[in-house]
């Protein structure tokens, strides 16, 4: 899935966030920022999984497929003559990110700078690792390897990887969704400033990171205060959120008119010209994740969740969106995709269904409610991360619906303009079972 579109009309909000603006009042030379998610992880496949050479359980290696994606990424930059080439790579300290940009670094002879500020997002409940800090044992989230260990792991690759920045250190006790949003918002100007100081000739950079961090960095560049907020004024056929599949690539540029001016980092009107580009990958978009998922990207819980959906899909012959609330549900069929039928369905929820909502994990985003397989005997009803099997009851007659008096867009939201008509189809009841 590959999208080019201009977001210049998106205003910089950031009303609830603040940072030291004195850090970015200088002439910036960075004009292009690529954001890349790492490739396909080995723990996304059935066990056994290879052990991490860093000895850190959460420091997962890429699968063979992920290594192939890394090669395809490198080939993409090498063969696309019109594509601006990065001059410096900033990478998360987790090994899967370094593996992803290894072929590109070697092919273009690019230096890799390790940066803690673009590392993985771990929720607070992941703070179960015993770590010695200042001589005391504390519970923390998984912490990344240091530079010496990473250099040892990649010793045979002769990578130019000799710097390890701690420009912004994620909370070792874990982060909420708000925390990673603030981390991205505060870290970006600091990282860019450091690049400007140490690499004044660099104009184009690539940051290799993780799904949650990639989204948070991108939303910071676009000026959004919420990581689940949908894009405004999106053209037909374009996504209304940042795509974050494995080895997917985003691109942000500053308008030429601002490139030589002394403006603050978040006043440079960053424009997204590439969103979730996976056209260079043989298998296209895989393992997309966003903050509506409810699990950490690529975690065991995330994989189990996807596997459960796959079982339901196979059982019912339907396809459901596995990680976002964009409402993409498609029935496996050989019929013309332009053909469709309209159905009105009344859903009869069990009395204890409210408890299911109460048990959903608390999040800042909307609760995901989906129905798939409405033309099967047992549709699937998905509420948050829980699934229910539906059972059709006998038709209970037609119904009255409200429709606009005319096709005027404004009038469609005007209740006084609505008229009631009898539906031309039968109303059928769907009974949902726990």
Looking at the structure, do residues 329 and 228 belong to the same domain, yes or no?
no
Looking at the structure, do residues 268 and 342 belong to the same domain, yes or no?
no
Taking residues 46-60, report their average pLDDT. Answer: 94
Looking at the structure, do residues 170 and 46 belong to the same domain, yes or no?
yes
359 vs 274, higher pLDDT: 274
pLDDT band at 232 (very low <50, low <70, confident <90, very high): confident
Asked if residue 205 has pLDDT above 50, the reply is yes
Looking at the structure, do residues 337 and 264 belong to the same domain, yes or no?
no
Looking at the structure, do residues 38 and 145 belong to the same domain, yes or no?
yes
Looking at the structure, do residues 242 and 348 belong to the same domain, yes or no?
no
DSSP annotation of 49 reads -
Given this model, what pLDDT does residue 322 score?
Answer: 47
Q: What is d(CA 270, CA 8) in angstroms, rounded to the nearest whole number?
A: 7
CA separation, residue 372 to residues 7, 178, 291, 356, 420 (Å)? 32, 32, 21, 19, 28
Looking at the structure, do residues 83 and 168 belong to the same domain, yes or no?
yes
Q: Report CA dihedral (264, 267, 268, 269) to the nearest 10 degrees.
A: 170
238 vs 247, higher pLDDT: 247
Looking at the structure, do residues 65 and 180 belong to the same domain, yes or no?
yes
Pick from 97, 71, 73: nearest CA to 209: 97
Q: Per the structure, how many domains does the chain have?
A: 2
Average pLDDT, the chain: 78
Looking at the structure, do residues 237 and 380 belong to the same domain, yes or no?
no
DSSP annotation of 268 reads S
Looking at the structure, do residues 269 and 332 belong to the same domain, yes or no?
no
8 lies in some domain: no
Looking at the structure, do residues 248 and 117 belong to the same domain, yes or no?
yes
Looking at the structure, do residues 45 and 141 belong to the same domain, yes or no?
yes
Burial group, residue 277, by CB count within 10 angstroms (0-12, 13-18, 19+): buried
Token output for 194 = 């450091």
Domain limit, last residue, from 213, 247, 277: 277
Are 264 and 338 a contacting pair, CB within 8 Å?
no
**Model confidence, pTM:** 0.71
Are 61 and 99 a contacting pair, CB within 8 Å?
yes
How far is C-alpha 134 from the geometric centre of its chain's CA atoms?
35
Domain residues for 354? 323-433
Give the CATH number, domain containing residue 157.
3.40.50.1240
- The backbone torsions φ and ψ at residue 88, rounded to the nearest 5 degrees and listed phi first, read -155, 140
DSSP string for residues in 344-391: -EEEE--TTHHHHHHTSPP-SSPPPEEEE-TTSSS-EEEETTEEEEEE
Q: What is d(CA 421, CA 240) in angstroms, rounded to the nearest whole number?
A: 33
Sign of the CA dihedral with 45 first, then 49, 51, and 53 last: negative
Q: How confident is the model over 132-178, as pLDDT tens digits?
A: 988 999 999 999 999 999 999 999 999 999 999 999 999 999 999 99
């Amino acid at each position: 899935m590959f999208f080019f579109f201009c977001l210049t009309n998106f205003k910089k909000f950031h009303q609830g966030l603040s940072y030291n603006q004195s850090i970015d009042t200088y002439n910036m030379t960075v004009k292009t920022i690529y954001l890349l998610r790492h490739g396909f992880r080995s723990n996304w496949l059935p066990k056994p999984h290879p052990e991490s050479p860093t000895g850190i359980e959460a420091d997962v290696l890429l699968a063979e497929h992920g290594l192939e994606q890394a090669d395809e990424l490198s080939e993409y930059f090498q063969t696309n003559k019109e594509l601006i080439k990065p001059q410096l790579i900033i990478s998360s300290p987790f090994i899967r990110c370094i593996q992803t940009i290894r072929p590109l670094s070697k092919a273009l002879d690019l230096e890799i700078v390790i940066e803690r500020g673009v590392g993985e997002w771990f929720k607070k409940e992941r703070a179960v690792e015993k770590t010695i800090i200042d001589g005391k044992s504390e519970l923390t989230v998984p912490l990344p390897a240091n530079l010496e260990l990473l250099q040892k792991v990649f010793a045979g690759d002769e990578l130019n990887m000799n710097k390890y920045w701690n420009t912004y250190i994620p909370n070792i006790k874990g982060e909420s969704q708000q925390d990673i949003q603030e981390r991205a918002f505060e870290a970006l100007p600091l990282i860019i400033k450091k690049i400007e100081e140490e690499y004044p000739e660099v104009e184009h950079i690539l940051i290799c990171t993780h799904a949650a961090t990639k989204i948070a960095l991108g939303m910071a560049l676009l000026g959004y205060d919420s990581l689940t907020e949908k894009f405004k004024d999106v053209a037909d056929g374009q996504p209304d959120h940042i795509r974050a599949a494995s080895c997917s690539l985003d691109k942000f540029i500053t308008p030429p008119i601002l490139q030589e001016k002394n403006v603050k980092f978040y006043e440079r009107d960053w424009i997204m010209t590439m969103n979730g580009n996976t056209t260079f990958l043989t298998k296209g978009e895989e393992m997309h994740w966003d903050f509506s998922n409810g699990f950490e990207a690529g975690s065991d819980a995330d994989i189990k969740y996807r596997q459960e959906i796959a079982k339901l899909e196979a059982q019912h012959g339907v396809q459901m969106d596995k990680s976002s609330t964009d409402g993409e549900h498609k029935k496996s069929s050989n019929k013309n995709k332009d053909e469709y039928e309209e159905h009105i369905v009344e859903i009869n929820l069990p009395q204890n269904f409210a408890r299911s909502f109460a048990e959903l994990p608390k999040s800042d985003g909307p609760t995901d409610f989906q129905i798939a397989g409405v033309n099967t005997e047992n549709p699937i009803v998905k509420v948050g991360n829980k699934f229910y099997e539906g059972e059709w009851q006998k038709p209970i007659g037609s119904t009255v619906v409200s429709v606009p008096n005319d096709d005027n867009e404004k009038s469609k939201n005007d209740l006084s303009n609505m008229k009631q008509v009898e539906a031309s189809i039968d109303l059928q009841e769907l009974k949902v079972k726990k």
